[in-house]
Amino acid sequence: MDTDVLQSPRPMTDSSAPSEAHQSEAHQSEAHQSKSPLATVLSFDVEEHHRIEAAAKLTPSADSRAEYARRMEATTYDLLELLAAYSVRATFYLVGEIAESHPRLVQDIAAAGHEIGSHSHTHTNIHQLDPDRFRMEIRESKDVLEQVSGQPVWGFRAPTFSVTRRTAWAIDLLAEEGYRYDSSIFPVRHDRYGVPDAPRTPYIAHGIARSMLELPPLTWRRLGQNLPVAGGGYFRLFPLAMMRAGIRTMHAKPDSTPRIAMLYFHPWEFDIDQPRLPLGRLSRWRTYVGIARSRARLERLIQEHRSTFQTAADVVTQLEPMREQLPRFGLTP
Ligand SMILES: [Zn+2]
């Protein structure tokens, strides 16, 4: 009888099931195909400018913190407008404390169809935390971001990409706290972060006893080295051609490999007039180089790769069923 059909309950879905916002049309049409996903992921690590690693030893005044918070909010709204103009959905990894100080901002990001992820609770480098404190960072931020946005938080991006071999235990804790993927292991050689021999395409990262799906930031393999072309200083300093080449070669891999170009930006990188932090010469240059041109560059990137954008959660939805086929990589020796 028809009524039986109408009255039969919908299949139960668990609380971590993807929200509608996580399921793009691209994902739905691709779910029937067996090949691995191809996507460009635009991600934004949202923190106030004074929280950056280079300023870790500074103690900005309450006035200057308030100013950076105001500017973070304004610039994030500008970015939301830009994304809306091109109907592009992105992933926003937010500092949990921002959900407490700016709940409306987090709600507006979620309402625009973007993914909400965690960028820790207080933006502390994991190398400075013990496992108990890190657990609080990822638990509190996930709780508050989910409560405020009404969206499940699946993903984590560590401050300063601080998931490394020394902090392999962080992978275990992310798995225990219900995260479904991480995007914090940069397969590059760098003075502050990186696991140079880690895979460049999505894989299963093994911590001490548990594992987690990893979406590594984009690198471009050049002359035997992985160049970090995913964002940051590389995006602002070098010709856009480098990031483009990275995206192109990633997307040109065989379709048995997930071809994910994970890019990252920070709202403060688009804020030309922000007051400069009193940094040392090298760090000042690294921090502010190319800021004046970054917005135009981002817009060009969006225009060029528009057809390939998906959120990280969309990508994860496609990768989870093929987990067994993904490469595995242990962070502990
Ligand atoms: Zn950050």
30 C-alpha to ligand 1 centroid (Å): 32
34 C-alpha to ligand 1 centroid (Å): 35
Region 62-86: mean pLDDT is 94
Which pLDDT score, from 0 to 100, does residue 34 have? 61
Which sequence spans correspond to the domains of the chain? 39-330
Coil, helix or strand at residue 91 = strand
301 C-alpha to ligand 1 centroid (Å): 22
- C-alpha dihedral (283, 287, 289, 292), degrees to nearest 10: -150
Structure tokens at 163: 């998931």
125 C-alpha to ligand 1 centroid (Å): 9
Give the number of other Cβ atoms within 10 Å of residue 57's Cβ: 7
Helix (H) or strand (E) segment spanning residue 140: helix 131-149
93 C-alpha to ligand 1 centroid (Å): 9
244 C-alpha to ligand 1 centroid (Å): 23
Q: Quote the CA–CA distance of 91 and 116 in Å, as a whole number.
A: 6
Percentage of the chain exceeding pLDDT 70: 90
Neighbouring-strand partners of residue 181: 155, 213
Cα dihedral across residues 119, 238, 262, 224: positive or negative: negative
pLDDT higher for 48 or 24? 48
Query: Which tens digit of pLDDT belongs to each residue from 25-59?
Result: 444 444 444 689 999 999 999 999 888 877 777 78
279 pLDDT more than 90: no
User: 165, 194 in Cβ contact below 8 A?
Assistant: no
Averaging pLDDT over each range in 16-25, 207-216, 219-228, 280-289, which range is the top one?
A: 207-216
Helix (H) or strand (E) segment spanning residue 137: helix 131-149
Q: Quote the CA–CA distance of 189 and 20 in Å, as a whole number.
A: 38
Q: Which CATH superfamily is domain 39-330 in?
A: Glycoside hydrolase/deacetylase (3.20.20.370)
111 pLDDT more than 50: yes
pLDDT band at 239 (very low <50, low <70, confident <90, very high): confident
120 C-alpha to ligand 1 centroid (Å): 9
325 C-alpha to ligand 1 centroid (Å): 31
Percentage of the chain exceeding pLDDT 90: 72
Please identify every residue whose CB atom is under 5 Å from ligand 1, which is an ion.
45, 47, 159
